[in-house]
Chain A
Amino acid sequence: MSSDSEIPQQCEHLQDELSELALGTLYGRSRAEVLAHVESCSRCAATLERLSVVADSLLQLAPEIEPPLGFELRLAERLHASAIAHRPGRFRRIGTLSAAAVIMVVLGFGLGTWATPSDVNRPAQSVTSHLTSAHLTAHGRVLGEVMVSAGTPAWMLMTISESPWSGRVLCEVTLAGGKVESIGAFTLSGGYGAWGAPLTAPASEVRSARLVAPNGTVLATAQLSV
């Protein structure tokens, strides 16, 4: 452990490398050395965070340019070829869970609950073990996906892509014991929608979710076994 008088000297010694680390151009032993130092030095960690903001912003300064005519068409063709080449056999199951992980992360981020500036450089943590997902169905037809995150608070998120209905819909959950709670409302447009909300009850209490029309008609349901 370094003494107090040595810390500023070590910090000063690594200032060049902090900038290079933020820019993504530091490799090998130097990179490992700086990362180890930042782990135990809040001052340099704060500096690195701001330098990282600068490095990220530099990329965003690049001017927007209209791609050549036909860009979308050519990309669609490449995507199609790529999708065929990379289609895994168990895509649906794995893909759904992965998507759930993304939604958990992104809605938390979007609502400002997870990704505070100090979180930016923190190592990624697996969230998939806390997720449960299920199809949202109506008359045996899959309309979308529902996901529940067992965090504090728990979250419910859904993506609907095949709904025959449009307009305002309510989301209700049925808890263990049969109690029904309304957790919010959102709008489906053209059969599509993506939405999420925190749950007041623990995720382990949630048994099912359903979409309800304003007139009380149940439009779709999802059975969850958390």
Chain B
Amino acid sequence: MNLTLNLLVAASLVYVAILIVVAFLAERRAARGAAGWLRGPMVYTLSLSIYCTAWTFYGAVGYAARSGLEFMTIYLGPTLVFVGWWWLLRKLVRIGRAERITSIADILSSRYGKSNGLAVLVTVLAVTGTTPYIALQLQSVTLSFAVFAAPGTEPGDLTGLALWVAAGLALFTVLFGTRKLDVNERHDGIVSAIAVEAVVKLVALVAVGVFVVWGLNGGLAATGRAIATSPVAGWEAAPGRWAGLILVSAAAVICLPRMFQVLVVENADERHLVTASWAFPLYLMAMCIFVVPIAVTGLARLPAGSNPDLFVLTLPLAEGQDGLALLAFLGGFSSATSMVIVASVALATMISNHIVMPLWLAREADRRATISGDVRDLVLRARRLSILAVMAMGYLYFRVTGGSAALAAIGLIAFVGIAQVLPALAFGLFWTGATRLGAIAGVATGFALWAWTMLVPVLAEASSVVTSGPFGIGWLRPEAMFGLAGDPLLSALMVSVGLNTFVFCLVSLFTAPTPMEQLQAPRFVHVFDRAMAPRGRLSGPAGAEELMIMAQRILGATETQDIIAAEARLQGRPGDLPDVTPRLLEALERRLSGSVGAATAHAMVSGITGDAAVSVEDLMAVADETAQVMEYSARLEAQRAELTRTARELREANDKLTALGVQKDAFLSQVSHELRTPMTSIRAFAEILRSGEADAEESDRYAGIILEESRRLTRLLDDLLDLSVLESGQVVLTADEVRLADIIDRAVLAASGSGDAIAIEVSPDLEAICVRTDADRLSQVFINVITNAAKYCDAEAPKLRITMATREDMAVVDFVDNGSGIATRDRGLIFEKFSRLSDQAAAGSAGLGLAICREVMARLGGGIAYLPGQDGAAFRVHVPLAGRVADAAE
């Protein structure tokens, strides 16, 4: 068999075709729900083998040929991580499943309060670290093709081939990486394909190893002797480098985006980790076991100057084992392709979830539209474009750098770069006090230092910045930061990861976590002992229908309806839309975050529900809203109280009106009665007089009665008129300054002429009191009170005592007689119209006197009241003073 380039291309194509068939069949099986062993522990373990890229397949031998056993550190680190799964991986996988984590950026974003800023930072870091790595794979494929090319063909002539490889890989990845938007972000097709690739590369490497040990060296013992006499027989690793490399590789196996993808995201069952804890180290060991023999044999047998990175390929070829060489080629090809495929899926997930979707959501939010259009399509499109972009970047990096550095160098640079995520991740899983700002500061610090100390020297190899530091500042020289001019890799590692961790812890200690972080941190740190209590949500106005429509755009109709229906069943109302409970929101958000990442999913659900438990600002907005609602309700309360008051007033007014109506009726009937009685007697006597039957004396008497009754009528009518004028307020009162004593004298004089005898005693003190009032009206009141006393005082020797006094700005006149007084129950009635307490001496009284008095006193700005607690009936009249007591005038 003669291996030509065309044959290799054909073999590669056939191999790829087989992979496509495998992936396709696996997807179909999974779609039928019969994933079975496809999601079993063995496939899981094999998929983890993407840790072993072309760097392992070709590079490990080259590494061993240069530095002896040091290459093993790259596999010892992961071994420690996996046998120590109880510490970190168990937690990582549990969280990954519980929170539906989609990527390494997503887990950090979720842990630190769903911070998208952190996710973007990690995404950028991952892309920066992975792009050279993808370039490395393209380079290894190109180099391996070049081995078979006709003599004289430069590897540079084959860059076109690299483009085809990149394009082909992009196509495959788009085909199987974005076929559907799986809520679990699981890619059965890809996982199966890389499991097959894992077997191919292991078989290839072991086959070459077996051929070398038993075919070329003649057994284990002979190989041992060959090692002992080889250039790498001695231990060459500098002190500390061994431990440092183990640390870096241990960090990388956790944090590399592609490793995180297969380890956490594609994990179908937590228990697979238990199998992987021994099976994956076993795989790594198998990959390593023949590396040193191949390296040693290559060094011994191949001409000096041969590229040790290609010994796996060139050794069988040189020995005429074309079939084995083809297998080795396919092994290398599969190592490279599986890495590129998974890495680009992982990166594309991060880019679309943390950069494209948030941008798109922000743009939509600007438009003030809720989610419109098919987001599902958009996510897939974003992901496809991201895959193409990642692949294009890898290819461009390969073209631009021309693959200058040795494979191992680029591999280690990428490892240290991604190790910058480890402090934030590891502390975040065990320390609730780790904050978002701390994580951002730490990762940013580490990222910057790593880029400066490791990337710059590779990209700008011989520039002055690298050789003598920026602006000639020696201690900033990338390869000897802070004057640490030891092993460049170790010093870069210690400076970047060390300061990263330090800054992370420091900032975390000095910053307060946001409410969202406070919610998220325990979910991560205490993932094993929490009861998964659903997070309290502010009940928003979101309808289940709105949520369903939104979720459908991302999860698809069937999936969404399943969730909704399940929730409805749980709520005991199958066939109906469920209420929007925190549990439903939680479930939806978790599913969505499986497709678009935690931050985006949270933003989308929050956007619909108005769920605002995100930030202090949002909480403040909610508080503000609450305050507004409270104010509004307070206003409503006030309005209600006012209405109640108005209603009460209306009711009172109504009552009063009713009472007044009754009073009016009573009044009218009183008035007619009062008018009727004298009219009756006038009529009767007038008739007698007309009939002429009465004699002169009788006539005289009758005429007298008629006259008296007419007077009484007139008086009654006068009183009524007076009262109505007073009550309607039409009365005109004059206001003069008069001596109170004068008015009283006048009243006493007038009253004494009315007939009823009563001894009146006016107390002489304070006769100089002057009042400002209408003298006639006031004397009318006094006369009325005096005549009443004369009329009703039932003492044998009736006596009325009138006293005067001043109280503040009022003159007070008391009329006290020595009668039996007025009963308590009647005191309220005496000022009412037509109220006569008894008929005994009622002649000539219509009962209007005191009512008129009250009205008059009210008009005069004073008052009249019954004065209880005296010997007899007592009335007290208040009159406004004239301003001062007129004592001085005396």
Question: Do A and B actually bind?
Answer: no
A interface vs B, CB < 8 Å? none
